[in-house]
Amino acid sequence: MAGTRMKITLRRAVISDCADMMALVRELAIFEKAPAAVTVSLEHFRESGFGKNPVWQAFVATISKPGQQEKLVGLSLFYIRYSTWKGQRLYLEDLIVNEKFRGKGIGKMLFEKTLQEARDLQLNGMTWQVLDWNEPAILFYQKYGANIESGWLNCNLGLP
């Protein structure tokens, strides 16, 4: 039936999306075998994206069918970073699509929307990380000609 077709919509995230976005972040953490690593509160997440001094932006992907409420199924969360070697670049923090909706082109749509944002802002590129064992993601990024570097180790220092 043509009338039951799923409609995919991309839009900028709004504050009311934050709980659904955090659910996707937790889903990603489980996939990456680090569910306990997500320690940010929903309140802090909201404030960081929509408060007085927002530090991140996001696009979300929603699906809807006639007569059903819109459902958030993907996100691309990013911010502008500065590299002393490259200048201003868009940093893609997370590209997440709910597992049930993968393989439908949603990740591609979000990635390309984010690339366009970097172009529209006249940045000189986009940077992100991918786990070395996440072969589907690596293959996806290689289709875009991404340079996947080796030799750099991530460093983190938590503050009390």
Length of the chain measured in residues: 160
Query: Could you give the CA distance from residue 45 to residue 65 in angstroms, rounded to a whole number?
Result: 29
Two structure tokens written together for 154: 């991530």
Query: Could you give the CA distance from residue 53 to residue 59 in angstroms, rounded to a whole number?
Result: 18
- Cα R_g (the chain), whole angstroms: 16
Residue 141 falls in the annotated catalytic set: yes
Under a CB-based contact definition with an 8 Å cutoff, are residues 64 and 7 in contact? yes
Q: Given 79, 82, 141, 144, which residue is catalytic?
A: 141
For 119-124, the CB contacts below 8 A with 24+ separation are 121/80, 121/88, 121/90, 123/80, 123/87, 123/88, 123/89, 123/90, 124/86, 124/87, 124/88, 124/89
Neighbouring-strand partners of residue 7? 64
Residue positions annotated with a catalytic role = 141
